[in-house]
Structure 1
Amino acid sequence: MKKVIKLLIIDDDDFVSASLSDYLINKGFGVRTASNGKDGIASFEREQPSLVLLDQKLPDMEGVNVCQKILEINPNAKIIFITAYATVQYAVEAMQAGASHYLSKPFELDELSITIDMALKNVQMEGKLRVQDYEREKDRREKKLIGSSEVINRIKEQIELAAGSEATVLLTGETGVGKNVVAIAIHDLQAKRETYLTINCSAIPENLMEAEYFGHEKGVFTGAETRREGIFELSDGGTLVLDEIGDIPIHLQSKLLTALEDKTIRRIGSGRVIPVDVRVIATTNENLEEAIREKRFRQDLYYRLAVLNIHIPPLRDHPEDISEISDYFVKRFCRGPVRIPDSHIRKMMKYPWPGNVRELRNVIERAALLLQGDEIRPADLLLQDSLSSPLEKSSQKTMNIREIIPLEEVKRRHILSALRACSGNKSLTARSLGVSLSTLKRKLREMNIT
C-alpha cells in the first residue's frame, strides 16, 4: 500500500485553502488546513507533515516567523511560501527563513504541482543522505582498530603514512583480519575526501563487472534502458575501496590499470573520456605474487596498486591484543558490566583463530546471547577440532615429522568439523569461521567437498 504524504496548508483565505485542498486530495495527498499561524504550528507539531504551503501574511503573525518555528520542530520539513505580496524583499526573507520554494499568487496548479514534486524529491534525497550518513557513522563506530601491541602500533603508523599521501594502497591479509577497518581509518584521516564507497569484486557477476566499474550509455546492451554512472564516477573526489581485488578477471585488469594511471574512464558505448579524481584502496586475502606467476593477475597492475602495501597480520600473531579486542566487543554486545574470566582469556590466546578478528567478534556475540549473570564465557564456543589439536600437542612434546599434517589437510578438517558442528548449514558455518559465504563456497569447491 502506497504511503499517503501529509501536507499542511496555512492560509487565511478560505477559498484558496479549500481549492488547494480539493486539488491535492485528488492527487493523493493527506491534507490538513489552518487559517492562522498559531493553529498552523499546533497542527504541524501534531501531524508532522512532510510539506507545508504557507501564506506570507497571516492574521496573527508573519509567515516568516511561522516558518522559523516549524523548522525548529522539524528541520527536514519543506516549506513552500505562497503570497500575493510578491517582492524581491519578501522572497529573500522567505529563503533566509528556510523556505525551499516561493510562489506568487495567482499561480497555475500545474506550477504548484511541479514545485511540490521538486520539494518531495528533495525530501527523498535528503532522507537517503541521512541514512547513508548514519550507516557511515555506524561503520566508523563499529570498525575500530583495537589493540596496543607492537603489531597494531606499526599498522597505525602505516595508516598515518598512507593518509598523508594520495598514492594507491594495497591492503593484504587473511580473511577477517580487519582490512576494511584499516581502509576506513585511512579515509577518515584524509580531510579533503568525503565520499567513501566499497565494492566487493568477488560479488559482481563477470558479465556485469565492466558496467559496474565504468558505467554505460543508454541502449548499449539489452536492459540498458538508461545511462548509468559506474563506481569510479560515483566515487569522484572520494575514496574507492576495491575489496577482493584478486577476483577481477584478467581481461578487465587492463582497463582498471588505465583508469588508475590516466585518472580517466570511458563508459561502455561512449567515446567520451571522463576525468575522475579517486583515491583507490585495494584489499585482498590472496597471494597476488603467486597469482602473477600463475598468469591470473597482471604484474603492472600489481605494481600500480602496491605503491603503499600494508600487510595486516593474523590475530594469532598478536594474541596479546585478544583481551582488549574482546573487551571492546563485550561492551558492544552486552548490557551492563560483564567480565570475561581470566581462564577464558588464556584459552582464547592459545586458540589459532582461523577466522581472525571476525571470528572473535562472532564468538563474543554468540556468547553474549547465552549470557547468564555477569560473566561471559566465550571460550566454551571455540571450535575444538584437529586444527588446534596438533598445536596444543606440540607444546607438550616434540612432534615427530611423520605426525605433521599438511596445512591444506588441516584446513580441510577444520572446515569439515565446522560443517558438522553447524549441522551442514553453510551460512552458519561461514559466520562461525569468520569468512564470507562466497569464500566458504569457493574453498569447498577447491577441496571437492559437496
Structure 2
Amino acid sequence: MTNILIIDDDDQLRISFERLLKEEGYGVCTAASGEAGVRMINQVMPDLVMLDLRLPGMNGLETFKQIHGMEPKLPVIIMTAFGTTETAIEATKRGAYDYVVKPFDIPQMLSTIHHALEAGRFMRSPVHMGVAPEKTQGEAIIGKSPAMQEVYKSIGRVSATDATVLIRGESGSGKELVARALYQHSLRAEKPFLVINCVAIPDTLLESELFGYEKGAFTGATHRRVGKIEQAGGGTVFLDEIGDMPMNLQAKMLRLLQEKSVERLGGRETLPVDVRIIAATNRDLEDLIAMGQFREDLYYRLKVITIWLPALDERTGDIPLLVDYFLTRFAAELGVENPGIAREALSMMVSNPWPGNIRELSNTLQKALIFNRGAPLSISDITNATCGDAKSHHVKEVGGDDSIRAWLRSLLSKGAQENLFENCMDHFCGMLVGEALNLTGGNRSQAAKLLGMSRPTLHAKIDKYNLKIETSIK
C-alpha cells in the first residue's frame, strides 16, 4: 500500500486529511511537529510527505531541509497559507515537489498527490536492463534481440553525459523506461526527475507548468509559481510526446537548450537553469517540419543523441521473455501464483501483430491473469483478454458499429449543439468505466488496473459519471 505522512500541528486538518486519503486507498501516518515527522521517516519510510510550513518548534522549511537531506528522492508537497507562499517557493526551489495553498481544492490536491507519487516512483524504482525475467522484481527493459542490444549500448554510452537525448519509437514501445534508465545511470541521479507529458496537459496550461508564472501574469495568478524546469534544478526533465508541443512553446524550449535560461510567464527576469532534457516522441518529426508544425532548429537541438526503440513486430524473438516477465510481475502484484502459459497460447502471442507494442501485450496478460483460475493461460484466456481490442480493430476495418453510428448521426442532424463533443465523450467514458467495474464485481483496484489508471483517478471518474457500483459478479 502507498503510504503518505502528514506533518501538521492542526489536529482537525490532520484528522480530516487522514480520512480523505484513506478513502482514496492510501495508507496514512501523521505527526504534529517537524521533529516527530523526521523521527517517523526514520521508522516508517513513506512514499510521500505532506508538510505544513507553520509548525511549532522546528518550522516547515527547516523540517523540509532535514527530510531532503535524509531522503532526497522522497517527494514532499508543501502545505501553505497565502501569507507563507514565498517560503513555499523557496522550498520548491530547494527540491520540494510542489506546494498547495490552503484552503485546498480537493480534486486538484488529489491530482497533485497522484503526480507526486508517480514522480517519487520514477526516481526511486530502479529500471533493470537486459536481465533474465525471473530475476527481475521491479520494472525492466526486457529483450535480447540485436535491436535491443543496441538500445542498451546507447544507454550505457550516453547516460553519464549531459547530452540532450531524443527517444523515438512507436507508442507503447517503452520510451519512458529508457528515459528513466538514462536518469538513474546519470551523474544527476540524486537530483529530481520530472516528467511532463506534452499531450496530457492542455496547451493553455503547458507554458505555466513548464516555466512558471509571476503574480498577476493572468487572471487567477494570485502568487508566483515556480515551473517544472526551474524546479528540477540540477536534475532531469523528461518531455514526453514533444512532437505535440505547441509552436509558441517550441521557441521557449529552444532558448532553454541554447542559453540554459528561462523566463516565467508574465516576468521579465531571465533565470539561469541547470537541467538535462530528455525528450520522446512517436511522431514523424521530419514530416512535421515539412508541414511547418515543428521547428527545425529545435529538432537539431533535441537530437544531439537519438535512441530508436524497435516496435514489437521487429523483435518477435523477445516476446517469450516479455511474457515470462509480465506474468511473474503481475502475479506478484495480484498476490497469486504464476500459472505460466500454454505452448500454443505463447505461439499465438508470438504471431500476433501487437499494434500497441509492449503496452498492449502487458495489458493483455494482466487482464488474462485477473480472470485466470490457476491453470496455465490458454488460447481462450488470451483471446478473451484481447477481444475488446480485436473488436475495436474490427470496427475500424468494417466501418464501425451501425447502431452507434446511427445514434451519432441522429445527434448531429439536430444541428450545432453546445458541448456536443464533450457530452458524447463523457457518455462513452462513463460506459467504459462502468463496464470495467461490472467485469470486476465492483473491485476498484482491479477495475483501475484494467483501465490503466490509478485508484484516485478511477474514484474521480466514478464521482464524475455518478456510477452505481455492483458489488457481485453476475
TM-score range, shorter chain: 0.5 to 0.7
Counting only pairs closer than 5 Å after superposition, residues 176-195 of structure 1 correspond to structure 2 as: 176-193=172-189, 194-195=191-192
> Helix, strand or coil: the match of 2:167?
strand
- The residue number in structure 2 matching 1:352 is 353
Residues 367 and 381 in structure 1, CA contact (< 8 A), matched pair in contact too: yes
- The residue number in structure 2 matching 1:413 is 397
Residues 386 and 414 in structure 1, CA contact (< 8 A), matched pair in contact too: no
- Counterpart of 1:260 (choices 257, 260, 279) is 257
> Helix, strand or coil: the match of 1:363?
helix
Residue identity matched to 1:257: L
- The residue number in structure 1 matching 2:47 is none
Residue identity matched to 1:246: G
Closer, same or farther: CA 341–218 of 1 in aligned 2, 3 Å: same
5+ residue gaps, structure 1, are: 8-23, 31-47, 55-66, 78-111, 389-408, 436-450
For residues 65-112 of structure 1, give each alpha carbon's deviation from its aligned partner in whole angstroms, at most 9, with x where no partner exists: xx9xx99887369xxxxxxxxxxxxxxxxxxxxxxxxxxxxxxxxxx9
Residues 7 and 34 in structure 2, CA contact (< 8 A), matched pair in contact too: no
Closer, same or farther: CA 264–71 of 1 in aligned 2, 3 Å: closer
- Counterpart of 1:381 (choices 378, 381, 384) is 384
- Counterpart of 2:301 (choices 301, 304, 308) is 304
Counting only pairs closer than 5 Å after superposition, residues 363-402 of structure 1 correspond to structure 2 as: 363-377=364-378, 378-381=381-384, 383=386
Closer, same or farther: CA 414–317 of 1 in aligned 2, 3 Å: farther
Closer, same or farther: CA 53–352 of 1 in aligned 2, 3 Å: closer
- The separation in 2 between residues aligned to 1:267 and 1:291, in whole angstroms, is 28
- The residue number in structure 2 matching 1:217 is 214
Does 2:31 align with 1:50? yes
- The residue number in structure 1 matching 2:323 is 326
For residues 188-222 of structure 1, give each alpha carbon's deviation from its aligned partner in whole angstroms, at most 9, with x where no partner exists: 11133421110000112212222111111112211
- The separation in 1 between residues aligned to 2:34 and 2:178, in whole angstroms, is 48
Residue identity matched to 1:137: R
Closer, same or farther: CA 434–283 of 1 in aligned 2, 3 Å: farther
- Counterpart of 2:232 (choices 231, 235, 238) is 235
Counting only pairs closer than 5 Å after superposition, residues 14-33 of structure 1 correspond to structure 2 as: none
- The separation in 2 between residues aligned to 1:6 and 1:268, in whole angstroms, is 32
Residues 173 and 285 in structure 1, CA contact (< 8 A), matched pair in contact too: yes
Closer, same or farther: CA 360–434 of 1 in aligned 2, 3 Å: farther
- The separation in 1 between residues aligned to 2:153 and 2:143, in whole angstroms, is 13
Residues 159 and 185 in structure 1, CA contact (< 8 A), matched pair in contact too: yes
- The residue number in structure 2 matching 1:162 is 158
Residue identity matched to 2:330: F
Closer, same or farther: CA 116–184 of 1 in aligned 2, 3 Å: closer
- The separation in 2 between residues aligned to 1:249 and 1:344, in whole angstroms, is 44
- The TM-score with structure 1 as length reference comes to 0.62
- Counterpart of 2:146 (choices 147, 150, 154) is 150
Paired residue total:
329
- The TM-score with structure 2 as length reference comes to 0.59
- The residue number in structure 2 matching 1:115 is 57
- The separation in 2 between residues aligned to 1:224 and 1:73, in whole angstroms, is 36
- The separation in 1 between residues aligned to 2:175 and 2:14, in whole angstroms, is 48
Does 2:341 align with 1:340? yes
Closer, same or farther: CA 165–382 of 1 in aligned 2, 3 Å: same
Residues 122 and 193 in structure 2, CA contact (< 8 A), matched pair in contact too: no
Closer, same or farther: CA 6–230 of 1 in aligned 2, 3 Å: closer
Residues 365 and 385 in structure 2, CA contact (< 8 A), matched pair in contact too: no
- The separation in 1 between residues aligned to 2:432 and 2:39, in whole angstroms, is 51
Residue identity matched to 1:182: V
Residues 34 and 60 in structure 2, CA contact (< 8 A), matched pair in contact too: no
- The separation in 1 between residues aligned to 2:165 and 2:372, in whole angstroms, is 41
- The separation in 1 between residues aligned to 2:452 and 2:357, in whole angstroms, is 7
5+ residue gaps, structure 2, are: 16-28, 45-53, 69-73, 77-115, 128-136, 405-426, 437-448, 454-474
Counting only pairs closer than 5 Å after superposition, residues 114-133 of structure 1 correspond to structure 2 as: 114-115=56-57, 118=60, 122=64, 128-129=75-76, 133=120
> Helix, strand or coil: the match of 2:140?
coil
Residues 359 and 432 in structure 1, CA contact (< 8 A), matched pair in contact too: no
Q: Shift of residue 336 of structure 1?
A: 2.2
Closer, same or farther: CA 152–4 of 1 in aligned 2, 3 Å: closer
Closer, same or farther: CA 283–236 of 1 in aligned 2, 3 Å: same
- Counterpart of 1:289 (choices 262, 286, 296) is 286
For residues 3-24 of structure 1, give each alpha carbon's deviation from its aligned partner in whole angstroms, at most 9, with x where no partner exists: 99899xxxxxxxxxxxxxxxx9
Closer, same or farther: CA 352–113 of 1 in aligned 2, 3 Å: closer
- The separation in 1 between residues aligned to 2:61 and 2:162, in whole angstroms, is 38
Closer, same or farther: CA 363–229 of 1 in aligned 2, 3 Å: same
- The separation in 1 between residues aligned to 2:40 and 2:146, in whole angstroms, is 50
Residues 322 and 349 in structure 1, CA contact (< 8 A), matched pair in contact too: yes
For residues 111-158 of structure 1, give each alpha carbon's deviation from its aligned partner in whole angstroms, at most 9, with x where no partner exists: x97426548964997774495645643474643101111121111111
Closer, same or farther: CA 172–121 of 1 in aligned 2, 3 Å: same
The structure number with the bigger radius of gyration is 1
Residues 359 and 433 in structure 1, CA contact (< 8 A), matched pair in contact too: no
- The residue number in structure 2 matching 1:95 is none
Residue identity matched to 1:184: R
For residues 386-440 of structure 1, give each alpha carbon's deviation from its aligned partner in whole angstroms, at most 9, with x where no partner exists: 989xxxxxxxxxxxxxxxxxxxx989329958x99xx9656789x98999xxxxx
User: Could you say what the CA RMSD is over the residues aligned between the two structures, in angstroms?
Assistant: 4.4
